[in-house]
Amino acid sequence: MTTAAIIVAAGRGIRAGGGVPKQWRSLAGRRVADWTLDRLRGAVDHVVLVLSEDDRAPWDEFRKSDLILAPGGADRAGSVRNGLQALTGLGVEKVLIHDVARPCVSARIIKDVIEALNTHQAAAPGLAVTDALWVGSEDTVKGVQDRSSLFAAQTPQGFHYDAIVAAHAAHSGGAADDVEVARAAGLDVHIVPGDADNLKITRPEDFARAERILGTEMDVRLGNGYDVHRFGDGDHVILCGIKIPHSRGLQGHSDADVGMHAVTDAIYGALAQGDIGQHFPPSDPQWKGAASEIFLRHAVALASDMGYAISNVDCTLVCEFPKIGPHALTMREEMSKIMGLRADQVSVKATTSERLGFTGRSEGIAALATACLVKS
């Protein structure tokens, strides 16, 4: 089933201010149109962008892209008709028609509209009106309006392609949207749940609201870390920042804190910023015997510089001895202090490997860690 979307971007958008049509104004670091295009691009097979003949730069820019371009018409309906015509011969069965000024439309709404077209000729998101409605004149309430059957219309509005082409051809003009055109042609329009965040940028203050919506979308990153250090001579080990008396020590270029190294690498991993060895080469003598908290502090600072907050870390130490349990809480407290986190954001636990393998034969200690970072 071939699906397409038409994004109507030929309007002049003067009410939103800013001196250029609103679809070309910046919103959270990108143009409004770029946000909107990304929302639809991944969801359908073809995207038509309807552009005003006056917007020469976007014509030149998008001509090199995967988009199908169509010229704006004398009014919105004319632009939609040009967009529909641009899809001729592509075998499109379902078409979504979307306002470029709704850049916050969710993947859920797009999917709901496309799916509803399996069983309906037309479908569109509607938001039930929850505020009481008044009828007024000037500054006086003259009456109330029953809201129980009222919906705020949103886009994308979806249609069977042939049906909406015929409906537009038969319409005499002046419709507020494509649902009105479809209904005039006798199509039943199914309502899917809209979303208050799917706002249409109309007034200057709408930009701030859209930025808040786009800016709070979750960017969550996970990373894992794994490290091993070999036992050698010594009378203590340092694990997760805690010195533990032991009949042997761990060998390594730094203080060989295998747990802290795994946590550090998990943070670098979440950031896709390599590993400890890249940031602190073992060949560099200045890190000989270094306290591993230097590495951990560096990874935490890098996360912060890149705009991420560490949500939690989880570290598992694999060894038969020393016993970790009695020290686990102190380790959590020590690492949380270094990372500027609460102890309940840091987990340290241990397992043996049932005397199997190098950890089971007490030849060394292994550690695994996971870190979760959230864009702040």
Q: How far is the CB of 262 from Mg ion (least distance, A)?
A: 8
Shortest distance in whole angstroms from residue 92 CB to Mg ion: 57
Beta strands in the chain (DSSP E): 2-9, 26-27, 30-31, 46-51, 68-71, 92-99, 122-128, 133-137, 140-145, 151-153, 157-160, 189-193, 220-232, 236-239, 242-245, 249-250, 308-318, 346-351, 364-375
In the complex, minimum distance from the CB of residue 294 to Mg ion, in angstroms, rounded to a whole number: 13
Q: How far is the CB of 281 from Mg ion (least distance, A)?
A: 13
Letter string b/e over residues 134-171, b meaning 16 or more CB atoms within 10 A of that residue's CB: eeeeeeeeeeeeeeeeeeebbbbbbbbbebbbebbeeb
Closer of 199 and 270 to Mg ion (Cβ): 270
Which of 248, 261 has the CB closer to Mg ion?
261
Taking residues 165 to 194 in sequence order and writing x for each that binds Mg ion by CB under 5 A, - otherwise, the string is ------------------------------
If binding is defined by CB under 5 A, does position 255 make contact with Mg ion? no
Q: Where are the alpha helices (DSSP H) in 64-203?
A: 76-86, 107-116, 161-170, 178-184
Residues in the chain: 376
Q: Minimum CB separation from Mg ion for residue 270, in Å?
A: 18
Task: Check: CB of residue 211 under 8 Å from CB of residue 197.
Answer: no
In this chain, which stretch among 105-113, 189-197, 255-263, 318-326 interacts with Mg ion, using CB under 5 A?
255-263
For Mg ion, which stretch binds (CB under 5 A), given 27-35, 122-130, 222-230, 352-360? 222-230
Whole-number minimum distance, CB 299 to Mg ion, in Å? 13
Among 227, 255, 265, 293, binds Mg ion (CB under 5 A): 227
> Nearer Cβ to Mg ion, position 227 or 293?
227
Q: Partners of 240 in the beta sheet?
A: none
122-128/189-193 β-pairing: parallel
Task: Tell whether residue 200 is a contact of Mg ion (CB under 5 A).
Answer: no
Question: Which of these ranges, 1-9, 34-42, 119-127, 223-231, lies near Mg ion under the rule CB under 5 A?
Answer: 223-231
CB of residue 279 to Mg ion, shortest distance in Å: 12
Q: Residue 157 and residue 151: Cα distance in Å, rounded?
A: 14
Judged by beta carbon, residue 103 or residue 252, the one nearer Mg ion is 252
Please, which residue, 112 or 255, has the CB nearer to Mg ion? 255
* Size of the residue set binding Mg ion (CB under 5 A): 2
CA torsion angle 57 58 63 68 (round to 10): -150
Report which secondary-structure segment, H or E, holds 52: none
Q: Is 261 in the site for Mg ion (CB under 5 A)?
A: yes
Q: Of all residues in this chain, which one has the CB nearest to Mg ion in the complex?
A: 261
> Rule CB under 5 A: which residues touch Mg ion?
227, 261
